[in-house]
Each structure stands twice: as C-alpha cells, then as structure tokens.
Structure 1
Amino acid sequence: MKVVVLGAGVVGVTSAWYLARCGHQVTVLDRQPAAALETSFANGGQISVSHAEPWSNPHAPLRALAWMGREDAPLLFRLRWDAALLDWSLRFLRECTARRTRDNIRQIVTLALYSRSQLQALRAETSLAYDHLERGILHLYTDRREFAAAIEGAAMMRHFGCERRTVSVDECIALEPALARARPLLVGGDYTAEDESGDAHRFTQRLAVLCAARGVDFRYGVTVDRLTLAGGLITGAMVAGERLQADAYVAALGSYTPLLLRPLGIRLPIYPAKGYSATVPLGADSVAPTVSLIDDGHKIVFSRFGQRLRIAGTAEFNGYHTEINAVRCGALMARAGELFPALRPTGEAQFWCGLRPATPSNVPLIGRSAIANLYINSGHGTLGWTMACGSGAALADIISGRLPEPDFRFL
C-alpha cells in the first residue's frame, strides 16, 4: 500500500519505520526542515512505563485549584474563554474517578510495556545510538502525603506488570549519589529498574535516516492545507495546491491533529499542554544525576545525555501559544538547584517549550478513524517518547490487516 504519514516527530517517524518494515511504500510530510523539531525536540527524555499515572486522577481537581493563579504551578490552567479547553476540562474531570483512573493506568502501562520492548528490539537490530542509559527511573518524594499516595499507585502498577518498587531515602541516595546533599528534603521514592532514558530528538533524526535507507520518502518544509474527502474516503493531502494521493493516511501531527481533522467531521479530545525544558551543559566537576529522576511533587524530570542534563516538565494549558515563560523556566532551574546544589553548569541553560498532545485520560488515540482509510496516532501527552515505538508497531499491524499484540483500546 501507499501510505502518507502526516508529521515527522517521534510518533510519525516510528510509524513510518514499522510501516516500511511491513513492506508499505511510505511518504512522510512535515512543515519543519527536518525531523523532530517540535514536541520531540527537547522533551524529558524518559522511557517511563513507571510514569503511567494520568494527570486525571482523584487527587487532581483539588491540586489544580490549589495551584490556580500560581505562575510557576506544576499544572496551570489559564483562565480565559476557550470552548475547546472548556470541553476538554469537563472530560478531564470525568476521568478523575478512581475506577476510570485504574482503567486508564492499565491501558497506559500495557502499551508502554509493549513499546519499551519494541524500542529495545529496534536498538538491538539497528545499533542506534542516542545517548541512552539503561539505569532505571527513580521517583522522588518530598511530601509525606504524596509519598503515601504513591505507594498505593506503585502497587497498582505492579499489578499491571510494571515493577515499580518503593524505596527508602537511603536507597534513593544509594541509587543516585548525586542526591546526597538533598537528603533533608527527601521522604522516600520508588524505582523501576527496567525503565530507560535517552535523547528523543537524536533518536528520531537517526531513525529517519534509517527509514530513508528503507525507501521512505521524507518531504520537509511542506504544510498540509487540508485532506480531501470523496465517497467516504480520503482522496488526497493538499500541499501547496498539489494533491498527494495514497491508499492510507496517518495523522500523527501531535497537538495539531484535531485542527486538521475537524473539517472532516472528526472531533478529537486532544488539547495542547505546553511543557518546558532546560538543557544544561556539564563539566567534569558537576555533581549531576545519571539515573533518570522524576520529582513527582513538582512534575519535573531529570535525564542525563552524556555531558548534558535535561530538566523538563510542568504543564500549561493556554491554547497553541509557544512563547517561553521566564517564570516557569526559572522554576525548573530553582528546583534543580535545591536537589543538586553542586550542579556547577559550564554554560547557560538552553530553554525550550513544546505542545504535548494531551487527551483527558492521558490514553492516546491510535487506530482507524471513522473514515476507512484515515488512521490516527496522536494524543500521547507526556509519554510520546515512551509509547512511540509501540504505537508505531501496533498501527502498522492495524494498517496491514493484523491484530496488534498489546491488549489496548485501539480505535
């Protein structure tokens, strides 16, 4: 089949890779001059099955209210009239029940476990290098109530197959000695040894090269104006007045997926959640972590890429605005200074923000749409890098007429 993939982020490129492996003729379209230059450019860098608890959980509404009006809040809803955000927020609240949270965690863990194994198999097959580390992910807690709640969450994830082990403060520091000076702040943690970290941007760009060697045609610097529809099928992707035709189309445009599909009558519950990151250059005397960390109370992650430290996190719901907020960037650096007072960067931090495509449940939308030859691979929220390989492999199976391996709620 001829397949057009819309979007060359980590989800779009992994979709192209697995489709090409299945023997399909694949073309990838992206408005940027190269792969992974938007949301996949400078994310937290974690392959984090252990980070499967969705934002929408029984504790979320009260936390969001408590953070309201705080410019540096981990989760910030901008108060303004936005019909899409209002609709999304109401759906978000419906997902905050204990029953729905449990089901959503099961969905996320199932796909994330499959995706992690697919990434490992791809790495073994291709020897792809992207500053990856296989040292696990350590969740840190500095609030006793949050730590108590996390113990329950860890037990639930173990039930679904994610080995997230509760650890003491001493064990946290034994796992990551760079935390020694932060001992007075810590109350405990949990650790998933099987989780990983790595540079999603480097991975995606290098995988795109391997895709091209398999015959995938990448067309950069092109914007898809619209998809044309006739007889109940997509008949083409319009690019600068030219219609690109294929047998199947994959919408993997992240937060922009619902904007392209809305004129076709497809309304997706995806809203952009702006995340921030800082990339800090390190020297020989920098005391920085090598185990990837999640500071759950502040919604900040730390990942080591060689002599760079990526500090990323928070979520700001403010439409499609991509301006960098200095206060939120400052919050990342301030927290890094509290946890790692001897970080000693060798240069200025590079700040970035990107729009993560969030569904109210944090469960992504993957599979066939109501239009028979239009497929969706979007809505991964903060876990696009974690779920990318599994999402791409499963979608390639669906398009090829096979049943995907994971027991997931595909479209």
Structure 2
Amino acid sequence: MHILVLGAGVVGVTTAWFLQTQGHQITVVDRQNQAGLETSYANGGQISVSHAEPWAKPSAVLKVLKWLSQPDAPLLFRPKLDPAQWRWALSFLGECTSARAAHNIRQIVNLGTYSRSQLQALRKVANVQYDHLEKGILHFYTNPAEFEGAKKPTRIMQSLGCDRQIIDADQAVELEPALKPIRNRIAGATYTSEDESGDARMFTQNLARRCAEAGVAFRYGTRILGFEEAGERVLGVQALTDGRHETLRADAYVLSLGSYSAALARQLGIFLNIYPAKGYSITVPVRNEEAAFKVSLTDDEYKLVYSRLGDRIRVAGTAELSGYSRKLNYTRCRAIVRRTAEVMPEAGYWDRAEFWTGLRPATPSNVPYIGKSHYANLYLNTGHGTLGWTHSCGSAAALADIIDGRTPEVDFTFSGL
C-alpha cells in the first residue's frame, strides 16, 4: 500500500520507518528542506517515561493564575481573541481533577514505556547515532512543597511499572555530582534509571537517511494546503511546491503535522483539540567537564529539562500559550540562562547560549491522538506536546499495527475520530 505521511518531524519520520519495515511504499511530505527542522530541532532531548505527570492537575489552576502576571513564568497563558485557545483552556480546566490526572498519567506512562522499548530496538537495527546517553533522568526539587506534591504521581507511575524512585538530596548528589553547588537547597529528588537522553534532531535526520536508503521517498519544500475527499475517503492532498500546485495521491494518509494538524483536520470536519505550546531552549558548549552533568536532569519547580548532548548542554522548557508566533521572547530565554547558571555555574559557557523556540502540539490532557479517523484511509499521529521525542517510536509502531489491522501491544486508548 502507498501511504503518504504528512510531516517530517520525529513523529512523521518514525512513522515512515515502521510502516516501511512492514512492506508499505511510503512518501513523506514536509514544507522544510530536510527532516527535523521544526519542533524536533532543539527540544529538551529526554526520553522521559518519568515525565508523565500532565500539566492539568488539581494544583495547576492556582499556579496558572499566579503566573499570569509573570513574564518569565514556567507556563504562561496570553489570552487572545482566538476561539481555539479558549476552547483548549476550558478543556484543560476539565482535565484538572484527580481522577482525570490519574487516568492521563496511566496513558502517558504506558505509551512512554512501550515507546522507549521500541526506540531501543530500532537503535540496534538501524544503528542510528544521536549523542544518546543511558544514564537515567533525575528530577530535583528546590521547593519542599513541590517535592511533596510529586510523591503521589510518582507512586502512581511506580504502580504502572515506571521505576521512578524517591530519593533524598544526598543520593541525588551522589548520582549526579554536578548538583553539588545547590546541595543545601535540594528538598528531595526522584530518579528513573531506565530513562535516556539524546539529540532528537540528529536522530530524526539520521533515521530519515536510513528510511531513504530503504526506499522511502521524501518530498521536501512542499507545503500542504488541504485535501480532496469523496464520501468517507481522502482522494488526495493538495500541495504547493516551488509555486506549482499539485495533488499528491496515495492509498492512505497519516497526519503528523504537529501544531498545524488541527487546522488541516478541520477542513475535513475533524476536531483535534491541539494548541501550540511555545517552548524555549538554550544550547551551550560544555565549559568544565567535571562540573557538567551526565545524568539528564529535570528541574520541576522551573519546568526545565537538562540533557547532555556530547560536548553540548541543552536546557529546555517553559510553555507559552499565545498562538502560532515563533518570535523569541528574550525575557524567557534569559530566565532559562539565569536558572541554569545558578544551578551549575561552571558547567557551561552560559554567555554563549544559542536560543531557540518551537511550537509543541499540546492537547489539554497531554495525551496524543493516535489512530484512525472517521475517514477510511486517514490516520492520526499528532498532538504529543512536550513528549513527541519520548513517544515517537511507540506511537509509530502502534499506528503501523493499526493500519495493518493488528492490535497494538500497548495498553492505550487510541483515537477513533
């Protein structure tokens, strides 16, 4: 079967990989001139099953209200005259109950665990290099209340098979000596030894090369405009390449366009509650090897993640719900630099930070859309929010099973829109 995959980010490229391994003819379409140049470009780098606590939880409402007046807040909601933004926000409030948060943790952990195992298997088969480290992820807390609040979701994750251990400050510094400068400020920590880190862009681009070697076709520089349809089938995708309009046809189609999936799906009467959560990252050269970390870190109070990518340090986080603009907000960039320099002052050349921002495709629940739409030949693999890198391989493997009529091996509620 010829399948058109719309999007060449980490989710689209992994989808292409798993589908081609099952014998399908695959074409990947993207407006950029190579893979991994949008949300996958400079993300936090974590394969983090342990990062399964959704944004929407009982304590979130008061935090968001407090952060409204803080331009450098971890989660910033900038109200606009945008019905999609307000619809998303109202749905987010509906997810902020204990019952919904527990349900969503289950979904996120199950998909994450499955995805991590699929990535590990893919890495062996495809021999993809991406500065990966298998040293676990350590969440540290400098606010005692934040640490106490993390214990309940951590125990839920443990019950689901995620080996996230609650540890004290001494154990945290023993695991990662780079935290010594703030030892007296650490209230507690958690550690998940099986989690990993790596460069998502490097992975995506190297896997795209493996896909091309296996016969996958890539149509770069092609902007997707809409669909042709008849009844309950998609007949083609309207596209624009070098100023020339054309219709790309296939037997089936996979929508993996991140934050831009929702607008395209609306043309077909499909409602995807996805809104862009603008995230930021900094990338700096390592300054002092002994002071730089190797265990990937999560600074939960500030919603920042730290990954070691070879001789570089990547720190990413924060979320800004303010539309589709990718303009850098230097107040938020400087806030990341300020916090990381405070945590480990000698680790990196903080004054040489390379800033980046990207649009994460967030759902109110943080649970993505994976599965079949009500169109017989249109499938969804989108809405992964901050966990696209973590969930990409599992989402792709599961969707490939669904397309081939098999039941995926993961306990997850798949979409059926």
What is the TM-score when the length of structure 1 is the normalising length?
0.99
1:12-411 paired onto structure 2 within 5 Å: 12-240=12-240, 241-284=245-288, 287-345=291-349, 348-411=352-415
Displacement of 1:232 in angstroms is 1.7
Match status 1:10 vs 2:15: no
Decide whether the 8 Å contact of 1:147 with 1:189 is kept in 2. Answer: yes
**Which runs of structure 1 show a deviation greater than 6 angstroms over 4 or more consecutive aligned residues?**
none
Matched residue SS, 2:162: coil
Matched residue SS, 1:62: helix
Amino-acid identity (%): 57
- How many residue pairs get matched? 411
Decide whether the 8 Å contact of 1:397 with 1:404 is kept in 2. Answer: yes
Displacement of 1:382 in angstroms is 0.4
Decide whether the 8 Å contact of 2:48 with 2:137 is kept in 1. Answer: yes
Once the two structures are superposed, residues 123-158 of structure 1 have per-residue CA deviations (whole angstroms, 9 ceiling, x without a partner) of: 111221100000000001011111011111111100
Once the two structures are superposed, residues 33-75 of structure 1 have per-residue CA deviations (whole angstroms, 9 ceiling, x without a partner) of: 0000000000000000000000001111011011112100000
Decide whether the 8 Å contact of 2:282 with 2:316 is kept in 1. Answer: yes
Residues 346, 354 of structure 1: alpha-carbon distance in 2 compared, 3 angstrom cutoff: closer
Decide whether the 8 Å contact of 2:131 with 2:199 is kept in 1. Answer: yes
Displacement of 1:287 in angstroms is 1.7
Amino acid at match of 2:278: K
Matched residue SS, 1:56: coil
Residues 346, 58 of structure 1: alpha-carbon distance in 2 compared, 3 angstrom cutoff: closer
Q: Partners in 2 of 1:244 and 1:312 — Cα distance? A: 36
Displacement of 1:79 in angstroms is 2.4
Q: Partners in 2 of 1:116 and 1:63 — Cα distance? A: 31
Matched residue SS, 2:117: helix
Amino acid at match of 2:111: L
What are the ranges of 5 or more consecutive residues in structure 2 without an aligned counterpart? none
Matched residue SS, 1:51: coil
Displacement of 1:210 in angstroms is 0.5
Moved more, 258-267 or 109-118: 258-267
Displacement of 1:184 in angstroms is 2.2
Matched residue SS, 1:40: coil
Decide whether the 8 Å contact of 1:143 with 1:187 is kept in 2. Answer: yes
Q: Partners in 1 of 2:232 and 2:41 — Cα distance? A: 36
Q: Partners in 1 of 2:42 and 2:219 — Cα distance? A: 22
Displacement of 1:283 in angstroms is 3.3
Matched residue SS, 1:69: coil
Decide whether the 8 Å contact of 1:173 with 1:180 is kept in 2. Answer: yes
Displacement of 1:347 in angstroms is 6.5
Moved more, 149-158 or 304-313: 149-158
Amino acid at match of 1:68: L
Matched residue SS, 2:236: strand
Displacement of 1:342 in angstroms is 1.5
